[in-house]
Amino acid sequence: MLRAAPSQRPQHAVAWHEDAPNPSSAATPPSEPLPTSVDWIVIGGGFSGLSAARRAAERGARVLLLEKGELRDGASSRNGGMVHVGFGASTNSIIKRFGADGAREWFDLSRAGVRRIQQLATAGPEGLTSSTGIDPNWSETGHLELARSTRSAADLHGEAELRESLGLPVRLLDRSAVQQLTNSSAFAGGLAVEEGGGVQPARLQAAMANAARAAGVEIRERTPATGIIQIAGGYEVRTPRGSIRTQHIFGGVNGYADRLFPALRRRAIPVGSFMIATEPLAPELLAQVSGNGEMRFDTRNFLSYWRPTPDGRIAFGGRTSFWPDSLDHIARLLTARMRASHPQLAHTNVTHAWGGRLSFAFDRLPRVARLGGVTHLSGCAGSGVALMTLLAEQTIDWELGGDPPLPARIPWHPVPVPYEGLPWFLPFAGIGFALEDWWNERGGTKSRG
Ligand SMILES: Cc1cc2nc3c(=O)[nH]c(=O)nc-3n(C[C@H](O)[C@H](O)[C@H](O)COP(=O)(O)OP(=O)(O)OC[C@H]3O[C@@H](n4cnc5c(N)ncnc54)[C@H](O)[C@@H]3O)c2cc1C
């Protein structure tokens, strides 16, 4: 007899947090007085803030990291944990803009970012497991890009050629190869990329927080930066707990930029992304739906991404529209998408739902820029897990006299419409994206039928 689809409402909680130590244990208790003067203030306690802070401390600086809420409030412990080569911008647009050699430089940066995470998340002299005792669960699986229509599958042929021209190895998969790999008939073709893999993001963030503290960084939670004033020889940063003098300020606020950063908010566009997680699956079912454990995403504008978790769940994420919506409704839409991709999960409970914010520049490439006294790293879109750590380290090295990181070498103009922080124009762009997705899939159905 068929069981009815479970209708239980998922709890609003991040599944990754249940399987990771809380990074707050690396923070100094709020009762301790703040220092009056340091060399660096780092604002934001995600991957970029923690990596920048650790790098500056390892280079001998006194560093204070200010986090507005708790360390795991930002995107860094809430994301898909996918560590892949690429950017929000398409390969084609990068080649058109920078030429083949310029594009190679961008992809070299991205590959170096992947390698840096791999180095930190695996055993080895640089690995965080041995120094912190927290294993970020690196899995070297590569990823699959999956086309939901024959039209999108045809586009993947062009994408494969472009990537090969840049020396990025990929493997094109036809419908039957994808069906064999995924045990699903929902996809018309795909692209397999062996480089990269996944981490448990909350475990990686907890390991990074512990490593930063061990390097000498003082981490303060519930201490927002609320004002920045230029003074002789540097800056004074105000917080509700007191003011601190500093020479340098690093901004790692990404999708959570508040009114303190008007120049950043005119340039970086914040967007929400959402995830659900199933209950832990029986090993046979997990093997059926997750194949070799690779990271997966589809080629829609409103894309979905999914993967198995180290504790045996399927974590499935995506964006369903740019209009404000309730988490319960988004979770229902994501659940329907997940079951359309893997009907084997029709009777599996979805136990968790959560969301977070990422950010992108208008051209969907990352940026490093000095704005209003703060050196900001922002805009890695859905590639921040691989990119933020390396770029944060390169940004500190630049501030201390090294070469500028690649994203600091391109201009960052304000978004070319009246805008500061609330992206009112996204729902309109979203209508175009949704229509394009519909058109692609309609075309796909037609030519299949
Ligand atoms: C649901 C979801 C799924 C994603 N999946 C992936 C993925 O699979 N792979 C991938 O590469 N990327 C993914 N991303 C993107 C990735 O998570 C981000 O690019 C990355 O975590 C950004 O790190 P960060 O340190 O720059 O910012 P965050 O981790 O967002 O941290 C910013 C911090 O700044 C703090 N802050 C803001 N203002 C202040 C202030 N005034 N004072 C003090 N603190 C302040 C905030 O409280 C916040 O904690 C995903 C994002 C989301 C939301």
b/e per residue, 264-298, with b = 16+ CB within 10 A?
bbbbbbbbbbbbbbbbebeeebbebbbbebbbbbb
Asked if 147 contacts 155 with a C-beta cutoff of 8 angstroms, the reply is: yes
Q: Is the CB of 202 under 6 A from ligand 1?
A: no
* Mean per-residue pLDDT, 170-174: 96
pLDDT (average), residues 32-56:
98
Residue bearing the CA closest to ligand 1, atom 21: 76
Are 276 and 316 in contact, with CB atoms under 8 Å apart? yes
Answer yes or no: are the C-beta atoms of 243 and 225 closer than 8 Å.
no
| pLDDT-based confidence at residue 5 (cuts at 50, 70, 90) | low
Nearest CA to ligand 1 atom 13: 382
- Is 374 in contact with 251 (CB distance < 8 Å)? yes
The pLDDT of residue 4 is above 70:
no
Is any ligand 1 atom within 6 A of the Cβ of residue 318? no
Report d(CA 448, CA 380) in Å as an integer.
36
Name the nearest CA neighbour of 318 among 308, 331, 437.
331
Distance, CA 75 to ligand 1 centroid (Å)? 3
* Residues whose CB falls within 8 Å of the CB of residue 336, separated by 6 or more in sequence, listed in order: none
Mean pLDDT of 431-445: 67
Taking residues 267-293, what's their average pLDDT?
96
pLDDT in tens, 74-115: 999 999 999 999 999 999 999 999 999 999 999 999 999 999
Q: What angle do CA 183, 189, 191 make, to 5 degrees?
A: 100
> Looking at the predicted structure, is the pLDDT value of residue 446 above 50?
no
Q: Which of 64, 65, 67, 71 to mutate to test the pocket of ligand 1 (most atoms within 8 A of CB)?
A: 67
User: Which residue has the least CA distance to atom 50 on ligand 1?
Assistant: 79
Mean of the per-residue pLDDT values for the chain?
Answer: 93
Q: Report residue 123's pLDDT band, with 50, 70 and 90 as the boundaries.
A: confident
With a CB cutoff of 8 Å and minimum separation 6, the contacts of 254 are 44, 46, 48, 74, 75, 268, 357, 358, 359, 377, 378, 379, 380, 384, 388
Q: Where are the alpha helices (DSSP H) in 122-170?
A: 128-132, 150-165
Helix, strand, coil fractions of the chain, as percent rounded to 5: 40, 20, 40
Q: Which of ligand 1's atoms lies nearest the C-alpha of 386?
A: 11
